[in-house]
Structure 1
């Protein structure tokens, strides 16, 4: 009777060892799958961020050009007005300077 128990124990131990081995292999396979999925996700995120950066950079360049045109147009308009109305420009500048001086002196 003890012989059967010993064989029975050995068979159970072999099954447990085989099950643990299978679990280990499945764990390794799962780890490889997760690693591959993570690489794919990282690559996809990198590509999306590069595309978004390119769009944002193009938008920034476009806004910069628009701002420069607007600023140059405003400067040209201001220059033209001062040349056409020198005395009123001097009066406005004097008034603005006096107001600024009053504000600064009150501090």
Structure 2
């Protein structure tokens, strides 16, 4: 082998080594970029979920207050009706108990 061929082979080997090194660095840079993008996406998703949770919590509290108000109003109306019409209330309760008893006994 001549001296020139060895130098050419060495130069090609050096270029290949440099190319592989560059590919490795590019892969690492790509990995860092992907990691950073993923962290940004995760942070954005966390912020959105916290905002949605806050909205849902406010809505749930509002609905809970509305339900309690409605339940209290219904309870007061029922109590008032029973006090104003005690005998008809006793009759309805007796009839309801009899119907439930019949349905249960058929099983």
Shorter-normalised TM range: over 0.9
**1:10: how far off?**
0.4
For structure 1, the 5+ residue unaligned runs are none
Number of aligned residue pairs: 107
Partner residue in 2 for 1:42: 42
Partner residue in 1 for 2:58: 58
**1:20: how far off?**
0.6
Question: Which whole-Å CA distance do the structure 1 matches of 2:105 and 2:31 have between them?
Answer: 73
Question: Which whole-Å CA distance do the structure 2 matches of 1:25 and 1:101 have between them?
Answer: 81
Question: Which whole-Å CA distance do the structure 1 matches of 2:100 and 2:21 have between them?
Answer: 84
| CA displacement, residues 6-30 of structure 1 (integer Å, 9 cap, x when unaligned) | 1110010000011011111111111
| TM value normalised by structure 2 | 0.96
Partner residue in 2 for 1:11: 11
Root mean square deviation of aligned Cα: 0.9
**1:56: how far off?**
0.8
Partner residue in 1 for 2:32: 32
Question: Which whole-Å CA distance do the structure 2 matches of 1:28 and 1:106 have between them?
Answer: 75
| CA displacement, residues 39-87 of structure 1 (integer Å, 9 cap, x when unaligned) | 1111001111111111111111111111101100100000010011111
